[in-house]
Structure 1
Amino acid sequence: MDVKQLKALVTVAEVGSVTRAAEVLHLVQPAVTRQIRTLERDLGVALFERTRQGMRPTDAGVILLERARRALNELERARAEIQPAPGAVTGIVTIGLLDSAGDLLAEPLVSAIARDHPGIDLRVLTAYSGHLRQWLDDGDLDLSLLYDLDGTPSLNVRPLVREKLWAVAPPPDGLRAATPVPFEQVASHPLVMPAAGHGLRALIDAAAARAGTAMNVVVQTNSMHVQKQLVRAGHGWTILPGVGIAGDVATGSLSAAPLCEPTTWRSIVLGTPRAGRTAPATDVVAQELTRQVHAALRQGLWPSAQPSDSAP
């Protein structure tokens, strides 16, 4: 099993055709076919099946693909970390940002890294915290923002921010930042909620229990964008962190107010793997992300948030 065979495997899976894979790899078709067949012979299993839609990985192929992608990624990372000049920080860094904080942090982070460390190949993924933690544990991320998480056997965490959850409604309902809304009042409306199992939903369920109030959940979704879209369309209210709706409130497309009775906080941390070597490029990105978070707090861009070392 060699690198060329793994590249052929991954490319065929991605484009669905040996012919197109040969074009991508700048090889003749028989060479790609030979690499796949050699892999199958060495492993004693079929890695692809031919369908009307093209080449589809078998169950064994899916397993090998996952490992092959990681192996090729690690080789690419190692190549990128070999410094072309003394003092230069180079390498590939894949960072996870919470879906709610992506609009606030992604652009200034990318701009700062491009300006100060052009040798770093920065890759940014956004998702809910549960997905980001899984990707971090699986080795698909080098560092990530997460929330309401202490250290685990596999992860180190650095607390960064504490922020309140907000009630979010259509503009005609007239919620205002200066007037917090009791949870009981929020629960009197139909609610568009994060899907069960997400960390944000767990916080909201816990707040409902403390308030002794049942919720009328009419829609559940795993997308913050869809949550806000449905609220704008009049399907109900929702509950989101302030950072996720600051822009919408500023443009008047949503109205929002901090949640109270009970006031509900979430804690955002920076997570990194405990195991393995931390590349210099990863340290640089972690430091810059921390600076960007603190800058957003100082500039008042992160509603009802405070550094984690501040008192509630």
Structure 2
Amino acid sequence: MQCSLRDMAIFVAAYEERSFTAAAQRENATQSGVSQHIRNLEHVVGVQLFVRERGGVIPTPAAASFYRSCLEVMRAHDAARRDVARFGKGPIGELRVGLMPTMTSRVLAPALDAFVGQAPNVAVHVVEGYSAALTQMVQGGELDFAVVPAFAGAPGVRARHFVRTRETLVSRPDSGLRHLAPVRLGTLGPLDLVLPGPGNTRRRTIETYCTTHGIEIARVVELDAMLGTLDLVARTRFVAVLPAIMMDTRRGQHGLTVNPIADPELPLDLTLIEPARRERSPASALFEELLLASAQDLNARWAAVLETQPRTALAASG
């Protein structure tokens, strides 16, 4: 015979009430049932727990010790139930998402934190990569969805607009540009520019923009590594064109100067792609919604900052 949680609950009630009758009322049991539980419990633990008297029952010293242990067990049981209960809400399963560094830099964390709270029973796997690799993974069914720059499309892939942001010029702190002031690239003279590899959709967009608007390029370094790009820009004369939603408006991030590209703006349209043969799961839909909300929040912050900036070209820092 073992001591069950029900035995412990009845014992605790009897100990606290000092009465089998009151314990029976509290635990929705009969008085004879409480007496039977206590006798069985005393048999299991091998010691008398109560002294029976006409006016009620008196706990023995052994009962006082057992009472404290019962409380610990009951608290642990209650905590375990509450802990596992949180996994009962929201979707269940596994989710695999592919994101560019544009999305993982600042958009991902708030969305992921919210998702884990709303869908605790979903195992999330986030893969960082550039558009070509992520598109191939979606085609192969390795990802539930990915967010990439807008492109012409690919077989087996269903696409829809996700969000639009703007591109910015990123340079070192002493570049001579006033942080956050809009800038015309054509006024800067030949640029030493960091670009992603030719397979990257944004590479073609940036090159087309520079060609169309007569922007001179002195040197190009191809670098498909975002942390390496930011470090190179922070230390040298090289500059990079990077999306606003991945850049902090504060000067402190990587010690960089960030200037929105203007006259004309260089927009970046991001597209959500998913396998055409697969229906969206509830987990996928929820994660997409939270990602979009995070991206829109960052866009709104940038819009608020830009309202305070002059509409003209850059001004010198300092």
> What is aligned with 1:292?
294
- In structure 2, what is the Cα distance between the partners aligned to 1:181 and 1:299? 19
DSSP 3-state at the match of 1:289: helix
Give the alignment's TM-score, normalised by structure 1: 0.63
For the Cα contact (< 8 Å) 1:93–1:142, is it kept in 2?
yes
Give the alignment's TM-score, normalised by structure 2: 0.61
Listed as ranges, the gaps of 5+ residues in structure 2 are: 1-86, 307-318
> What is aligned with 1:155?
157
Distance 1:152 1:251, change over 3 A: closer
CA RMSD after TM alignment: 2.7
For the Cα contact (< 8 Å) 1:150–1:157, is it kept in 2?
no
The CA deviation at 1:295 is 3.5
| Mean Cα deviation higher: 163-172 or 242-251 | 242-251
Q: 1:226 aligns with which of 221, 225, 228?
A: 228
> What is aligned with 1:20?
none
Q: 1:210 aligns with which of 212, 235, 238?
A: 212
Alignment coverage as a number of residue pairs: 220
Of structures 1 and 2, the larger Rg is shown by 2
> What is aligned with 2:107?
105
> What is aligned with 1:127?
129
DSSP 3-state at the match of 1:195: coil
For the Cα contact (< 8 Å) 1:159–1:267, is it kept in 2?
yes
DSSP 3-state at the match of 1:246: coil
The CA deviation at 1:215 is 1.4
- In structure 2, what is the Cα distance between the partners aligned to 1:87 and 1:265? 39
The CA deviation at 1:93 is 0.4
For the Cα contact (< 8 Å) 2:249–2:258, is it kept in 1?
no
Q: 1:168 aligns with which of 162, 170, 173?
A: 170
* Correspondences of 1:181-260 after superposition (within 5 Å): 181-186=183-188, 188-246=190-248, 249-251=251-253, 253-260=255-262
Letter paired with 1:102: T
The CA deviation at 1:89 is 1.4
> What is aligned with 2:283?
281
Letter paired with 2:225: S
* Correspondences of 1:257-268 after superposition (within 5 Å): 257-268=259-270
- In structure 2, what is the Cα distance between the partners aligned to 1:130 and 1:264? 21
> What is aligned with 2:95?
93
Distance 1:240 1:248, change over 3 A: farther
> What is aligned with 1:139?
141
| Mean Cα deviation higher: 136-145 or 125-134 | 125-134
- Percentage identity across aligned positions? 22
| Mean Cα deviation higher: 235-244 or 204-213 | 235-244
For the Cα contact (< 8 Å) 1:242–1:303, is it kept in 2?
no
- In structure 2, what is the Cα distance between the partners aligned to 1:116 and 1:86? 10
For the Cα contact (< 8 Å) 1:171–1:255, is it kept in 2?
yes
For the Cα contact (< 8 Å) 1:248–1:254, is it kept in 2?
no
DSSP 3-state at the match of 1:115: helix
DSSP 3-state at the match of 1:271: strand
Distance 1:224 1:88, change over 3 A: closer
- In structure 2, what is the Cα distance between the partners aligned to 1:222 and 1:302? 31
